[in-house]
Amino acid sequence: MNGYVPPARPHPATGAWMPSHPAGSRQFFSFDRPFALEGGATLRDVTLAYETWGTLNADASNAVLLCHAWTGDSHAAGSADAGHSAPGWWEGAVGSGLAIDTDRWFVVCVNVLGGCQGSTGPSSLHPDDGKPYGSRFPVITIRDMVRAQSRVADHLGVRRWHAVVGGSMGGMQVLEWAITFPDRVGSIVPIATCTQASAQQIAWGAIGRRAIRMDPKWRGGDYYDAGPDDGPWEGLATARMVAQVTFRSDNVFTDRFGREIADGATLHDGLDLWQRFEVERYLDYHGDKLVRRFDTNSYLIIGKAMDLHDVGRARGGLLPAMARIDAQALVMGISSDILYPTYQQRQIHDLLLSGGTKSDYVEIESPHGHDAFLIDLDQVGQHLRTFLDRVGA
Amino acid sequence: MNGYVPPARPHPATGAWMPSHPAGSRQFFSFDRPFALEGGATLRDVTLAYETWGTLNADASNAVLLCHAWTGDSHAAGSADAGHSAPGWWEGAVGSGLAIDTDRWFVVCVNVLGGCQGSTGPSSLHPDDGKPYGSRFPVITIRDMVRAQSRVADHLGVRRWHAVVGGSMGGMQVLEWAITFPDRVGSIVPIATCTQASAQQIAWGAIGRRAIRMDPKWRGGDYYDAGPDDGPWEGLATARMVAQVTFRSDNVFTDRFGREIADGATLHDGLDLWQRFEVERYLDYHGDKLVRRFDTNSYLIIGKAMDLHDVGRARGGLLPAMARIDAQALVMGISSDILYPTYQQRQIHDLLLSGGTKSDYVEIESPHGHDAFLIDLDQVGQHLRTFLDRVGA
């Protein structure tokens, strides 16, 4: 039963970007005043990392905001390099001549508050003692993320976004932007997202929380001074595996992995509890990969923000909240999405129409599940390009 | 971040039934010879616990075998009592005058090999040293379970089952029974099951394995001498939570839990990482409940057997394997099953027809997901009753 040997991982306890690391294409904006959170706490020192592509025009009318998903960051486009452990999450969709054409649009992406790639989050230093926040970092909401981003918009001279675009948690931010700041958002593209997290979505999040809490190396959230090879990787990797399955689809898993055994072994070598199927190796790989570029507490804090997502909270419910939106919308769903099923995007579309907002709904036909918004860039990009052109006319 | 307090659980390290516990309605059959496993190992001492209802008729033609699912056991019908921590898993479907009418049928249910409710499994004592097998227990397969059950059939004087019936892992056994012993099975009712575990099903299993392995109280599988409150509950409960979500459905979770906060709290009390949604409390409850009646190593061993399930293995593939079946079939699928989608049961039905076997396919219309075979007893029972009558004529 004990045949499993974890891979060697001489890595620090967190995959967070640290001020001692190369900045890459990040820029930083530090708030000049404290930031009050929806939950009641106040963060005294807030810095947000962001990246921009293209040039803001004279009347500041060509700005497009991209909002990233759970484990994304400000690096929406560009290579992996010393400052960025992975290529941009929408690389191929954002750039000169691409769907979001940076020759035309001034594109901005901000690492969310609570994140770990340069923005203030649990791995940042607490102003009281210069040690990482760790367990002291407060719970934040999608609304907090969006209100914080609005200060970056002010700093950049963007009074009103031509469009705010994002998938999954990015789409939650898109809705909150348009509801919180109706006069600052010209159009929206919420993709594979929802007006409020469903019970099943919360359930998946709860499992990840429990897995991380179980990892003794998580140390109640205060693990930052743990030595190499002593971080809360098992907990984070297990939580990530749950997400990874819900991000894809039954059919794609069957096509890609079937019942293959990993590492060239066969069942003729004898049956072993830890002999891995190929799909198991794939999940281990993705779990282990995430721990190298992410922070476990950020995963918890951002996941909780998603579970708390409910645009109707303290606004009299969904319809009054959605009726505040004054931005033409393109709503996208993905045919095979099991995590954010298309009924959720059709609900967004219907609520927008009920509130008197112009909205189109399109469905990405893809076998790839929720992650199709990161994979099927041809379809997603084509819809985006057409929409950005049209609402700009 | 540290607000969570686990519930008090003064329980032993395993929820396994032990010989010192009341037998309840269990009977036991101990093999008089060693039992060779498909994986190559041999178990020297094997005992299987089973229960029976009704009376075997003179020509032994009225015997029905029920095969249980992952965390089930031989207690298919009957109350909870000192010997059985839960009522029968098909209570309401098995009994005098019920769908599986014990006035007419001699009904048998055997706790599977590798289980923890009286049959030999990881919590049993190793003949070498009289200590629990723990990490020494070998991997077993669904075929091992079925070949072991055949010895109980011999012992009971059942040469040929009128019907073999089961859902989920029970349905895997149903198929293996009919393929391994075509002349001993008159008819089969595989419910919400598959010919081979899919990549996605294996993926869910892999997450549970990793969660259990992470629990320091699992101790590599050798936790049986741990004191009260020191068992591998967190790992087992987390694994169970994964299963519990896949056993149900998005719609039912939404209807039942929505976004309610547990324990009477509201978000106005402030935002806390560990403040639970109602669905989270429900999953914690079910996870914590399972640890009181199950053994963590049995959960691993049985889960691995399901992942290894492939009726085509070493038989030239699915079609030749299924063509060995010489038993009239009623195949049941569940409309909302996300874990064993109905395409899997239609495949069973199609393969049976291709192999020249008489088969009917029916779909249970239910919002309850995979677990509907344990919940929607009216529909399941009606189909069963009709089928058992018909094939008996």
**Catalytic residue selected from A337, A366, A368, A383:** A337
User: Which of the four pLDDT bands, split at 50, 70 and 90, describes residue A292?
Assistant: confident
pLDDT at A132 over 70: yes
Nearest to B135 among A2, A271, A279 (CB): A2
Q: What is the pLDDT of residue A2?
A: 40
Strand pairing report for B42-43 and B35-36: antiparallel
According to DSSP, residue A258 is labeled: T
Helix (H, G, I), strand (E, B) or coil at A45: coil
Place of tokens 């009522």: B87
Chain A residue with minimum CA distance to B306: A273
Q: What is the pLDDT of residue A277?
A: 94
Distance CA A28, CA A50 (A): 6
Decide if the complex's ipTM is over 0.90.
yes
Residue B370 among the catalytic residues: yes
Cα–Cα separations (whole angstroms), residue B382 to B69, B93, B359, B362, B387: 20, 9, 17, 11, 9
Q: Write out the two tokens for B46.
A: 């094997």
pLDDT at B5 over 60: no
Backbone angles phi, psi at B163, to 5 degrees: -155, 145
Q: What is the pLDDT of residue B393?
A: 62
Model confidence pLDDT, tens digit, residues B120-164: 999 999 999 999 999 999 999 999 999 999 999 999 999 999 999
Q: Are B387 and B189 spatial neighbours (Cβ–Cβ below 8 Å)?
A: yes
Nearest to A220 among B2, B235, B304 (CB): B2
Q: What is the mean pLDDT of chain B?
A: 94
The set of residues, in sequence order, having a beta carbon less than 8 Å from that of B386 and lying 6+ positions away, is: none
Model confidence pLDDT, tens digit, residues B57-78: 999 999 999 999 999 999 999 9
pLDDT at A328 over 70: yes
Chain B residues with CB under 8 Å of A237 CB are: 210
Q: What is the pLDDT of residue A7?
A: 45
> How many C-beta atoms surround the C-beta of residue A156 within 10 A?
19
Q: State the number of CA atoms in the 13 A half-sphere of B115 facing the CB.
A: 29
The residue-averaged pLDDT of A59-87 equals 96
User: Which of the four pLDDT bands, split at 50, 70 and 90, describes residue B12?
Assistant: confident
> How many C-beta atoms surround the C-beta of residue A19 within 10 A?
10
According to DSSP, residue B203 is labeled: H
Q: What is the pLDDT of residue A335?
A: 97
pLDDT at B291 over 50: yes
Class of domain A27-217+300-392 (CATH, top level): alpha beta
pTM of this prediction? 0.95
Q: What is the pLDDT of residue A73?
A: 98
Check CB contact under 8 Å for A139 and B211: no
Q: Which fold has domain B27-392?
A: Rossmann fold (3.40.50)
Distance CA B85, CA B192 (A): 25
Chain A residue with minimum CA distance to B276: A206
Q: What percentage of residues in chain B have a pLDDT greater than 90? A: 90
User: Which of the four pLDDT bands, split at 50, 70 and 90, describes residue B7?
Assistant: very low
Query: In chain A, where do the E strands start and end?
Result: 27-30, 35-36, 42-43, 47-53, 63-67, 94-95, 100-101, 106-110, 163-167, 187-191, 328-334, 359-364
**Catalytic residue selected from B168, B187, B359, B366:** B168
Residue A23: Cβ-neighbour burial (10 angstroms; 0-12, 13-18, 19+): middle
Chain B residues with CB under 8 Å of A258 CB are: 199
Model confidence pLDDT, tens digit, residues A75-116: 999 999 999 989 999 999 999 999 999 999 999 999 999 999
Angle between helices B233-247 and A199-214 (to 10 degrees): 160
Q: Which residues of B4-42 are buried (b: 16+ CB within 10 A; e: fewer)?
A: eeeeeeebbbbbbbeeeeeebbbbebebeeebebbbebe
Check CB contact under 8 Å for B1 and A221: yes
Q: What is the pLDDT of residue B264?
A: 73
Model confidence pLDDT, tens digit, residues A293-306: 999 999 999 999 99
Residue A61 among the catalytic residues: no
pLDDT at A263 over 80: no
**Catalytic residue selected from A168, A298, A336, A366:** A168
Chain B residues with CB under 8 Å of A259 CB are: 196-197, 199, 202, 310
User: Which of the four pLDDT bands, split at 50, 70 and 90, describes residue A393?
Assistant: low
The set of residues, in sequence order, having a beta carbon less than 8 Å from that of B303 and lying 6+ positions away, is: B70, B205, B208, B209, B239
Q: Write out the two tokens for A51.
A: 């990246």
Q: What is the pLDDT of residue A3?
A: 42
Q: What is the mean pLDDT of chain A?
A: 94
